[in-house]
A and B are shown apart, each in its own frame.
Chain A
Amino acid sequence: MSSLSAPPLILALWSLANGWMLAWGLAAVLPLLIHLLSRRTRNTTDWAAMEFLRAAVRKNARRLRLEQWLLLALRTLVMLLVALAWAEPSVSWLPSRSPARRASGRTHTILVLDGSYSMLCANAGQRRWDAAQQRARQLVAQSVPGDGFSLILMAEPPQAVIPDVAFDGDDVQQEISNLAPTHGGAPLAAALAEVERVIRSAKERHPRLVQHRVCFFTDLGRATWEAAVSEECRRLVRELTARAAITLVDVTDREETNLAVTRLAANRLWPVAANRVTYEVAIEGFCATQTTGTRVELLVDGQRIAEQVVEVPAAGQITVNFPDSLPAAGEHVVTARIASDALGLDNTRYLSLPVQDSVHVLCVEGEQDAAKYVALALAPNRDHPGPIRVETAAESAILERNLRDFDCVWLCNVGRFGSEEANLLHRYVRGGGALVTALGDQTQADNYHQELGAASSGRRTLPAHIGLAAAGGSFRFDPAAYAHPILDPFRGRERSGLLTVPVWKYFPLAAYDPAVKVVLKFNSGDPAILEESIGRGVSVLIATSVSLSSTDVSRQPPTVWTALPTWPSFPPLVHKITQFAIGERQQGRNVLVGEPLNATLTLDNQEVSASVVTPADGAELVPLRPDGSEQTWEYTGTATAGIYRVQIGADRNRLQQFAVNLNTQESDLSRFDPSLLPDSWRDQRMAAADNRIGPAARDNWPLFRLALAGVLALLMAETVLAWRLGGAPG
């Protein structure tokens, strides 16, 4: 049965855009009220020719009654039709009028521009972004009065530039022109969710907009659109197509090759001036063929110090090493760049490189000489100190010293900690400090667990729970295939002594979190050294003693826990542990676009804000928030790649530089195969040269015009009838 041969249940298929306007239908009682009130006439007159008047009334009573009822009916119907017109009824069972509807002016178009940085790729001088802007503006310019627009920028997170509906086309075009792509990606799921939210809001605020459509202006980059086949995106698109028509406007039809600097790192022992460093620059080629003659430049503080010409493999990566010496102590920026190509943004990468005069290590000993061997291993020549300055102190130093003054803190056989000490240690590690905890015979496991472990109410500082000390035995280290970088110096050097270190006692450790990494094990299988990143810092836990002062009194005669401090592998092990802990701490100097910049300061200044200068030379202030005995600040506006300079007060020594780099997944300019898009996407695609606009969803027939026409007709009929019945008007 044709859908038009027998109209379905009309009541079920009617919809009212402004149903509450039907309340105006109550005004239909007004003509009746006026009619009734008019019978209580105020006009009264004596009349002599009553006989003739009564004769006229008598002879025309029926006609008069009919005429009155007819006029009353017309006037009531007028009010009802006006209310119905205002309620904007529509019937959806009528066939759709046209795929290129333009007449009704009640379309809500959500313009979604792909803001990933792949849109900055240029071809023949025009960027994909410029093409997207142009197409979007064109769409707005072709709209009819009454159409509404929302504008969303696909970004991390998506930005609803025009979250509500805007009806002024000029304003919308201006907003489009003012938009700029981000230096990040464009998660599709988040964008779809934002579109859904905007449509829902528009339906509530503007029920007159009966049609909704979503237009994506994108380059169909793989990094963004491969998520379209995910279950989450499929579900979001299903929900979206029930409310709106979706159109993809492909602003490019070609793939571009691209080279990108994807990594820049400084491989050095100590971040100390004049120390040897190797700058590692990774170049990745997103192309089908090998790229030759690629010049790679390395700059330190803007000065080019080296360059190399390399060949970048097809769809592969090459790492270029630049050996050098660290510059003088201070804040430095290392830049690696290659020649500009279709997408120039990813041809440069930055590295913030703070260099110190020396590395400061605090060794806290729980008993005398507990840290002696560690200090000796780090700084063997006190007369000619090297890059490491070691300070040995008793437990009280935790409270008395400012731990932030030290790059690394060794806790050697400390018996127990008070709450305040535990707080300070936790804050130190969380704020970027490197903590190495070596156990011993003074260790009170319960206290460690209580104050520094999982029972410390969110103040966990250690990576593992410390169990009861194991019974005596003879143990050796198991390097676990030298998987951990701390053991790099020992890989291939089995005779270095690491494997022969005798250990007779240790504390069994149980990692608190699966993220805890095992550096070294005992041949019993128990972990010997564990490490974990906590906050921005690193915490290393050594299960046995690092001194000869720990004694196992259960044995006769009492024996030391381990001979490790005397073994030739001890100094390099201590160095490597210290170096790793210092190197691995996340000082937050090198982050990706979108990640926050933050730091912790000692509470020794009167400043209340930090000044942040962005790569675009914009300046912003961020407040300094007190955190116990320290201050912290955080800046979240890292939308642009480059160097951000943060200064506290006027002291130039308190200038810090942060490098914000691209997450180079968008550097792969390969396009997502549209044939892999789910059906709901594929049918709505519109090619770059195609100006057709897809059909709008839910093409309802607005009946308010008919209702208004009916009102007009009734008013004319009422006027004519009143004139005819009443003779001269008024």
Chain B
Amino acid sequence: MEDYRKYFEPRTLAKLRGLQLRAQRIVEGYVAGLHRSPYRGFSVEFAEHREYTPGDDLRYLDWKVFGRTDKYYLKQYEDETNLIGYLVLDTSESMRYRGPDSALSKFEYAQCAAAALAWLILQQQDAVGLVTFADRIRANVPPSSSASHLKRLLDVMEGTQPAAKTATGPIFHELAEQWTKRGVVVIISDLFDDLASLLAGLKHLRYRQHDVLILQVLDAAELDFPFAQPTRFRGLEGMPDTIAEPRSLRRAYRQEIDRFLHSVKRGCREREMDYCLLRTDTPLDTALSAFLARRMARVK
């Protein structure tokens, strides 16, 4: 178990060069470990018949057709992994932050999570698309289930550097209008944006019948505020610098960030969206587990 667990450790991943390698390790570890594919052997929708050939499983023989035609035809079901996954990756400047004790920046962590999810989805022969955004949509890769699609997704992710401000609300509105087929929308972001605008955008996505899974990626330092010495904090995304005495402010800051997270969670819960907080110092299997739990719930 431990051998596989190590692939989820950010410090281990940080040593791997290349998003593809990192994603591969994550998925392999996940699949080969305790997390077994829940996808085997079930389907939910009948799609078409095909003629029986010796050796086929007789469980799937359509007896009604045989009664009518005296011919042996097998039912072919629509594979329930024909799910469309929409990966929405935040590439704003705030995602560039890496804490003093973190092995990966938020963006790198989000990249790994997105890449691993894409790999996993494609392995299950589902379709997955990718949207990167900051203050606007920077890249929009339509969903596809082809084997070569992963490389394209990874190239897009690797070729993107976090920059510019965040504008989640308008972008989610835009995406909600753009996506016609419903699917599972996995938003990987730190959600440092106007909360009302953010929730309004998410609500629009829900309105379009998408299943929304929020993976909020935050650095451990942003949650714990572990600084001890007086520090000049340089604002990202155009925010002004602030000099503060961290020891005096720690409690107050934590109160503020906790209040924000609580609001986010409540907002997601009210809109029936799944929410998962990812700390960049925690193993990445949490991200995969959250997605797969959501997928299982959808299947049922």
Give the B-binding residues of A (Cβ under 8 A). 38-39, 41, 43-57, 59-60, 64, 67-68, 725-728, 730
Contact = CB atoms under 8 A, between A and B. Distances in A.
A64 B248 CA distance: 7
A57 B242 contact: yes
A43 B244 CA distance: 11
B136 interface: no
B235 A47 contact: yes
B97 A44 contact: no
B258 to A, nearest CB: 9
A45 B221 CA distance: 11
Contact of B248 (A43, A51, A726, A730): A726
Given A38-B230, A64-B245, A730-B228, A50 B235 contact: yes
Interface string B207-243: 0000000000011001000011111111111011011
Given A41-B229, A54-B242, A727-B250, A47 B260 contact: no
Contacts of B256: 52-53, 55-56
Contacts of B293: none
Interface of B: 93-97, 100, 106, 190, 192, 218-219, 222, 227-237, 239-240, 242-245, 247-253, 255-257, 260
Contact of B230 (A41, A47, A51, A727): A41
Contact of B239 (A51, A64, A730): A51
Nearest to B218: A49
Given A64-B248, A727-B251, A50 B233 contact: yes
Nearest to B190: A48
B82 to A, nearest CB: 38
A51 B232 contact: no
A48 B94 contact: yes
A41 B248 contact: no
Given A46-B97, A48-B236, A53 B244 contact: yes
- B interface majority secondary structure: mixed
A47 B253 contact: no
Top 3 nearest A-B pairs (CB, nearest first) are: A726-B247, A48-B94, A47-B233
A47 B236 contact: yes
Nearest to A723: B247
Nearest to B229: A43
A559 B229 CA distance: 125
A43 B255 contact: no
A115 to B, nearest CB: 70
Given A48-B222, A57-B242, A67 B233 contact: no
Q: Of A45, A49, A52, which is in contact with the most chain B CB atoms at under 10 Å from its CB?
A: A49
A60 B252 contact: yes
24 contacts: A39-B230, A41-B229, A41-B230, A44-B231, A44-B233, A44-B234, A45-B232, A47-B242, A48-B93, A48-B94, A48-B95, A48-B222, A50-B235, A50-B240, A51-B192, A52-B260, A55-B256, A56-B253, A57-B244, A64-B245, A726-B247, A726-B248, A727-B247, A728-B247
Q: Of B235, B248, B255, which is in contact with the most chain A CB atoms at under 10 Å from its CB?
A: B248
A43 B232 contact: yes
Contacts of B257: 49, 52
A39 B243 CA distance: 8
B252 A59 contact: yes
A38 B248 CA distance: 14
B188 to A, nearest CB: 15
B228 to A, nearest CB: 6
Given A47-B97, A48-B94, A41 B249 contact: no
Contacts of B94: 48-49
Nearest to B193: A51
A60 B249 contact: yes
A31 to B, nearest CB: 14
Contact of B249 (A38, A44, A46, A56): A56
Nearest to A47: B233
A53 B249 contact: yes
Given A39-B230, A45-B100, A59-B252, A50 B236 contact: yes
Given A56-B256, A59-B252, 15 more contacts: A43-B230, A46-B97, A46-B233, A47-B236, A47-B242, A48-B94, A48-B106, A49-B94, A49-B222, A56-B255, A60-B252, A68-B248, A726-B245, A726-B250, A727-B247
Q: Of A53, A57, A59, which is in contact with the most chain B CB atoms at under 10 Å from its CB?
A: A53
Nearest to A71: B248
A44 B232 contact: yes
B197 to A, nearest CB: 14
A56 B96 contact: no
B250 A48 contact: no
Q: Of B230, B233, B247, B251, which is in contact with the most chain A CB atoms at under 10 Å from its CB?
A: B233
B34 to A, nearest CB: 33
A43 B242 contact: no
A56 B225 CA distance: 12
B232 to A, nearest CB: 4
A49 B234 CA distance: 10
Contacts of B192: 48-49, 51
A162 B267 CA distance: 90
Contacts of A47: 97, 233-236, 242
A338 B190 CA distance: 118
A45 B96 CA distance: 12
A50 B260 CA distance: 13
Contacts of B233: 44-47, 50, 53
A162 B249 CA distance: 63
A53 B247 contact: no
Contacts of B96: 46, 48
Given A47-B234, A59-B252, A41 B228 contact: no
B223 to A, nearest CB: 9
B195 to A, nearest CB: 10
Nearest to B236: A48
Nearest to B234: A46
B178 to A, nearest CB: 28
Given A50-B236, A50-B242, A45 B247 contact: no
A60 B254 CA distance: 13
B80 to A, nearest CB: 39
A462 B229 CA distance: 98
B279 to A, nearest CB: 13
A4 B249 CA distance: 50
A64 B251 CA distance: 12
Contacts of A46: 96-97, 233-234, 236
B190 A725 contact: no
A628 to B, nearest CB: 87
Contacts of A48: 93-97, 106, 190, 192, 219, 222, 236-237
A503 B192 CA distance: 143
Nearest to A41: B230
A682 to B, nearest CB: 69
A39 B245 CA distance: 9
B13 to A, nearest CB: 21
Contacts of B230: 38-39, 41, 43
Given A47-B97, A49-B257, A41 B239 contact: no
Contacts of B244: 53, 57
B262 to A, nearest CB: 13
A337 B230 CA distance: 95
A56 B252 contact: yes
B248 A67 contact: yes
A53 B242 CA distance: 8
A417 B244 CA distance: 106
Given A48-B192, A49-B222, A43 B227 contact: yes
B236 A41 contact: no
B92 to A, nearest CB: 9
Contacts of B242: 47, 50, 53-54, 57
Contacts of A53: 233, 242, 244, 249, 253, 256
Contacts of B250: 726-727
Contacts of A39: 230, 243
B217 to A, nearest CB: 11
Contacts of B227: 43, 45
